[in-house]
A and B are shown apart, each in its own frame.
Chain A
Amino acid sequence: MTTQPIPQRRSLRLRSRLVLLAIVPPLLVAICIGGYMTHARLLDARQGLQERGEVIATNLAMAAELALLTRNLPRLEQLCQSTLQQPHVVSVALRDADGTMLVQDGEQVLNPDAPNLYRAAIGTIGVQVSDFETQHTAPLAQPLGFAEVGLSVDATLARERRILLTSLALVGIGMLASLFAALRIGAGIARPMFALSHAMTRYRRGDHRVRLEPSSADEIGELTRDFNRMAQALEGSQNDLREQVRTATSELQRSIETLRTKNAELEAARMAALQAGQEKQDFLARMSHEIRTPLNAIVGFTRLLLEQPDQTCSSEYGRTIDRATQQLLHIVDGILNFTKLESGHVELEHRPFDGARCLQDAVALLLPAAREKGLELTLELSPKLPQTLVGDAHRLTQVLTNLLDNAVKFTARGQIRIWADYDHDAASGGRLSVTVEDTGIGLTALARKRLFQPFAQGDGSVTRHFGGTGLGLAICDRLVRLMGGAMDVQSRHGHGSRFSFSVPCPIAESAHPSAPAAIHAERSQHRDGDRKPRRGQRVLIVEDNAFNRQLLRHMLDQRGLEVHEACDGVEAIDAVRKARFGLILMDIHMPGLDGIETARRISTRNRRSDAACPAIVALSADVFARDHHSAEAWPFDAMVIKPISDRALDQILAVYLGANATAAARQPHRAAVDAAAAGHGPITRRQITGEIDRLLCQLAAAVAAAQRQQIRDTAHELKGLCGFFGYRALEAETRALEAAVDEASPAQLHRQLEACLAVQRLTVATQTAHPSPSAGLPGT
């Protein structure tokens, strides 16, 4: 839409226009009417004067007719004098018919044609006398004479002047009244217009709150109200726009802030990722070192054993290989524990336990190592510590064990002091505090900062000097936080460290402490000092894989325990029915009745018969096996991850049978494996290889027949065998085959089988290249 420009003329202000509009027409009308009226009044005045003069003259003529007719001059003079008394009459004269002056009074008027001289004929009207009048006897006869009256010019002029002045005064008054009215009316119109213009100017300059007070109900008032409505609408629109802009700006700012925060978080995440990546690289390098170091030892000493089957050295080599293996297992266990914590698969137990005994058992575990390094290890328990607490005693033990392990590791001399306290007033209903203080190398500020981060250690020198994965304290920190507590560290480099943590542990209400048997056993063991394992206790091995059964049997035989075997769940239940066992080691994954169902049935049976239920410990290569089941559905008392280390076995035995693990620990089961004979003797590598080959053939037949259940069962058995005896490459391939059995096509299953066969052929080729009377464990 285009706006047509208004033609601009020489502009006058509105008020001036209104004044002119109100003045000019009345002025013109007043001039015209006033002029006309003045002229008319002047004419009237002159005519009135003339009429007056004529009337006076006519009256005089009528009055003087008889006197003139009779020549009564005194009477004529009297008439003249009386006429002269009338206003403005200045001269009176009476003349004869022939113009002869008879009587004259007042001013003498010589000129008979003077303007203010009025003449009237005397005796011009008579009556008809005869019915037969002729011309000379007509009623309108010759006048008898003339009466002349002169009026004053001054009076006429004064009257005309008065008329003019009056007219001018009236016009002037009218004009002043019109001007006053115009100014008032103009002001009445112009003032709201000026106010409106001023308001619009203010509005244009940004004062959007300007409003006008409607002065009247006329068009200007309506215009004012329209302006107010327009301003209101515009202000509303602008407010809406402003609000929208503000909202958009706010949202934009929030977005920017969010982006900034996100950027910061991303930057932090990036930095953390970089840091984590760096630390993982460091960790990988460290793990490579940590893992390769024992592996090198294992490989090297294994080759020495193979190359130099000297009985004098083989024992030393075997112990070295066993330490390296234990170290390696420790590293792997740490990684697995941390992985479980990170994945959130750890569930805490809330059971009553003996707090003092729990602490004492943990100390007892590290007491030998401390003594070995000549360190003094003391435990101080606060009198406020209740006897029975509720919590996860196993995790508490793990935390304290880690802390003590570090203290022993990083303390060359001096002492390690542990004390425990209990806060009854804590908001959570009681809080257990434990402090481990050592006189070790201490921590730098940087090391303290990164202390609980995974894969981080004090510095490279620490790693190089002391080794370790750097996961111990990270695991402790996460466990403590998982239990609702917090961990603290105070340390100075070179002046020792003080680690403390506190966790909520409410006091158990009328419950007997069910401290783990292991703790009790450990405590008893360390309390008794050289307590021997109780020989002859029955242990039932439930394992579908014969080699696994054989290895476990050998390991348990070495610990003087009476070992029974069951190949599946049914046999296990039958065996439990026939005899009483102190411990059942049961594989979870078994064909037919699996380990979980078997354990559940055994527990159920024993509860029905009120018989003492033996401890049932699950055996599995799946570190997350426990996580797949709820606590109610988990019938086992504990679980051991395959491959089973002597340490783990000793801990299990110590907990559930009170057996001395350390005795067995001096004979690594790996060496025992090599020395094992068929049946109750050691297992040869050839036997293992043969078993693997058998299972592979069985697996190939199942794949060829596309019997998926058979494939799954055989692959599971093969995977367990490989895991048990450390065939990691084959275990991985077999695990992949098992995982893919449900959804993979026959061709894919076939290719995966080929991969398993290839790995096995490579292993056999390696073993063939390094023949040995008793074959070593396959490398990875």
Chain B
Amino acid sequence: MRARPSLVRATLVATALWVASPPPAVASVELLLSGAETVYDRVADAIQAQIQRLDDEFDHTLIRRRLDATAQGDDVSVRVAIGLAACKAAVRARARPAVLCALVPKADFMALAHDTPKAPTVSAIYLDQPIARQFSLARALVPNASQAGLLAGPRLQQSRGAIISAARAAGFTLNLLTAQDERTAAAAIQPLVTDSELILAVYDPTVLTPTSAKWLLHLAYKRQRPVIGFSRAYVDAGAIAAVFSTPEQIGTQAARAIAPFLRRQGSGLPPPSYPSDFAVAVNRPVAAALGLAPPSDEQLMREVAAQLKAAL
């Protein structure tokens, strides 16, 4: 088949114009997803949606890329790495723009940042919630409780003081048990449940595995102890309530974090932080089984927010 002479000529002209043009003047954003899981896309979607809302004022380009893709742009203004794997890849990249990791555990990001101290502009929005939110939620749910139990793995043991402070701020006496792994965690669950009025399940994959989490729920329920979680999934599994941030809330927060780059008003990113926005979920049948009557989710949200504000 013979190509048309006009179409070939137009293509050659366009190529010549692109090669001869100067560097772009607009900011470019790359969304690097750790995988194909939905949660990553939901975060990316929220970022993109938020950026598009800002697009009326600033020109920018947005590139969404998965971690396993071969093409890689080095001239982006800022790279949003969604997920721990993408974060690691972005931090360890040779050409490294500003990197904002989203949806990464705080402990893992802290360890990654520790391992790569020369990273100029790396920040993160954590996956996990600040422990004070959970104590506030616990207080809102069980106002009369005083003994709160918490199983801490090796990562949380580093924040032992903060945890105790947060508990105290919420009016609880903390029964903090530590474990090194799943097996020791399982052994600690029995006394934890026995000695606490309520238990806070804190994100620590080392000790809070699906199995240990199951036994925690099982034994706590057996003892009529409410378990306060950190995810909607755990509420669905049997926890009485949880405080958590949705991917959209994290994406929106990430888009706000990279806004200065888009406005070319600065070159830095906000420091790593917990998600600023959060939500609560209540498993009301479990609450009813435990003899509790929690208020509505909005009321809880207001009470938690109020307590957190008061604690500050």
Binding site for B on A (CB under 8 A): 65-66, 69-71, 123, 125-134, 136-141, 144
Contact = CB atoms under 8 A, between A and B. Distances in A.
Nearest to B84: A134
A512 B8 CA distance: 197
Interface string B83-118: 110000000000000000001000000000000000
A134 B201 CA distance: 18
Given A70-B183, A70-B187, A71-B183, A128 B233 contact: yes
A126 B103 contact: no
A127 B182 contact: no
Interface stretch (B15-23, B52-60, B212-220, B283-291): B212-220
A653 to B, nearest CB: 181
A127 B183 contact: no
A548 to B, nearest CB: 180
Given A69-B182, A69-B186, A127-B238, A133 B211 contact: no
A69 B203 contact: no
Given A70-B183, A71-B183, A128 B210 contact: yes
Contacts of A134: 37, 83-84
A141 B231 contact: no
A126 B211 contact: yes
B234 interface: yes
Nearest to A143: B211
Nearest to B186: A69
B236 to A, nearest CB: 8
Nearest to A69: B186
Nearest to B188: A70
B208 interface: yes
Contacts of A131: 39, 231-233, 244, 246
Q: How large is the interface on B (under 10, 10 to 19, 20 to 34, 35 or more residues)?
A: 35 or more
Given A69-B182, A138-B210, A127 B205 contact: no
Contact of B237 (A71, A127, A136, A144): A127
Interface of B: 37, 39, 83-84, 103, 127, 182-183, 186-187, 190, 201, 203, 205, 208-215, 217, 229-234, 236-238, 244, 246-247
Nearest to A70: B187
B183 A69 contact: yes
Given A130-B233, A131-B231, 11 more contacts: A65-B215, A69-B212, A126-B211, A127-B233, A128-B233, A128-B236, A133-B233, A134-B84, A137-B210, A140-B210, A141-B210
Nearest to B219: A66
A70 B203 CA distance: 21
A66 B183 CA distance: 9
Given A69-B212, A138-B210, A127 B234 contact: yes
A61 to B, nearest CB: 12
A391 to B, nearest CB: 160
B239 to A, nearest CB: 9
A587 to B, nearest CB: 174
Nearest to B204: A129
B190 to A, nearest CB: 8
A69 B210 contact: no
A129 B127 contact: no
A66 B215 CA distance: 8
Given A131-B244, A132-B39, A126 B233 contact: no
A127 B232 contact: no
A99 to B, nearest CB: 17
Q: Is the interface of B mostly helix, strand, loop or mixed?
A: helix
B120 to A, nearest CB: 27
Contacts of B215: 65-66, 69
Contacts of A139: 210
Contacts of B83: 134
Contacts of B187: 69-71
B32 to A, nearest CB: 16
B186 A130 contact: no
A66 B193 CA distance: 15
B211 A130 contact: no
B213 A144 contact: no
B186 A66 contact: yes
A30 to B, nearest CB: 53
5 contacts: A65-B211, A69-B183, A128-B210, A129-B237, A130-B234
B213 A129 contact: yes
Contacts of A69: 182-183, 186-187, 211-212, 215
Contacts of A130: 127, 203, 205, 230-231, 233-234
Contacts of B214: 125-127
Q: Which of B186, B190, B205 has the most CB of A within 10 A?
A: B186
Contacts of A136: 205
B234 A126 contact: no
Q: Which of A123, A137, A138 has the most CB of B within 10 A?
A: A123
Contacts of B208: 129
A70 B211 contact: no
Q: Which of B182, B209, B230 has the most CB of A within 10 A?
A: B209
Nearest to B230: A130
Contact of B233 (A71, A125, A129, A140): A129
A71 B185 CA distance: 12
Nearest to B233: A128
Nearest to A124: B211
Nearest to B215: A66
Given A69-B182, A127-B237, A137 B205 contact: yes
A128 B182 contact: no
B101 to A, nearest CB: 13
Nearest to B187: A70
A141 B211 contact: yes
Contact of B211 (A71, A123, A132): A123
A70 B211 CA distance: 12
Contacts of A133: 233
A132 B127 contact: yes
Nearest to B237: A127
B287 to A, nearest CB: 18
A127 B213 contact: yes
Nearest to A133: B233
A471 B83 CA distance: 181
Nearest to B185: A69
Contacts of A128: 210, 231, 233-234, 236-237
A595 B36 CA distance: 180
B231 to A, nearest CB: 4
A71 B188 CA distance: 12
A10 to B, nearest CB: 78
Contacts of B236: 128
Nearest to B231: A131
Nearest to A67: B186
B183 A129 contact: no
A67 to B, nearest CB: 9
A129 B201 contact: yes
Contacts of B244: 131
Given A69-B186, A70-B186, A70-B187, A129 B211 contact: no
A143 to B, nearest CB: 10
A486 B182 CA distance: 167
A141 B209 contact: yes
A144 B212 CA distance: 11
Contacts of B217: 127
Question: 7 nearest interchain CB pairs?
Answer: A126-B210, A127-B237, A69-B186, A128-B233, A131-B231, A70-B187, A139-B210
Contacts of B230: 130
A70 B182 CA distance: 9
A65 B201 CA distance: 21
A136 B35 CA distance: 14
A144 B185 CA distance: 14
A654 to B, nearest CB: 179
Nearest to A130: B231
B211 A144 contact: yes
Contacts of B246: 131
A71 to B, nearest CB: 6
A525 to B, nearest CB: 183
A70 B187 CA distance: 5
B183 to A, nearest CB: 6
